[in-house]
Chain A
Amino acid sequence: MTEPLTAMLVGLGLVFFLAGTLGLIRLPDTFSRLHALTKADNLGLGFIVLGLALQADDWNVLGKLVLIWAFALIAAGTSAQLVARSALRRKSTPSERQAP
Chain B
Amino acid sequence: MPNERSARIELPLVLMLVLKRGALLAAVWLVLAGAGGDALLVGLLVVPVATWISLRLLPASGGVRLYRMLLFLPGFLWRSLLGGVDVAWRVFHPALPIRPGWIKEPVNLSDGGKVALGAELSLMPGTLVAGSDGPMLLVHVLDTRQHTADAVHVEEARIATLLAAAPGEPRS
Residues of A participating in the B interface, judged by any CB pair closer than 8 Å:
15-16, 19, 22-23, 26-29, 31-32, 34-36, 38-40, 42-44, 46, 60, 63-64, 66-67, 73-74, 76-78, 80-81, 84-85, 87-88, 95, 98-100
Given contacts A42-B123, A84-B129, contact A29 B100 (CB under 8 A): yes
Point out the residue from A28, A32, A42, A80 that lies within 8 Å of B80, measured CB to CB: A42
* Interface presence of B118 (CB below 8 A): yes
A/B interface sample: 25 pairs, CB < 8 A: A16-B84, A19-B87, A19-B88, A22-B92, A29-B100, A35-B140, A39-B123, A42-B84, A43-B80, A43-B85, A46-B77, A64-B31, A67-B28, A67-B32, A76-B123, A77-B118, A77-B120, A77-B123, A81-B118, A84-B131, A84-B140, A85-B130, A87-B130, A98-B101, A100-B104
B28-A40 in contact (CB<8A): no
Please give, as numbers and ranges, the residues of chain A lying within 8 Å of B129 by CB-CB distance: 80-81, 84
Number of interface residues of B (CB under 8 A): 41
A63 to B126, CA, bound (A): 31
A-B contact count (CB 8 A): 122
Query: A33 to chain B: closest CB distance in Å?
Result: 10
Please give, as numbers and ranges, the residues of chain B lying within 8 Å of A95 by CB-CB distance: 100
Point out the residue from B30, B100, B125 that lies within 8 Å of A28, measured CB to CB: B100
10 nearest A-B pairs in the assembled complex, by CB-CB distance: A77-B119, A43-B84, A63-B31, A84-B130, A19-B88, A85-B131, A23-B91, A31-B140, A39-B83, A80-B122
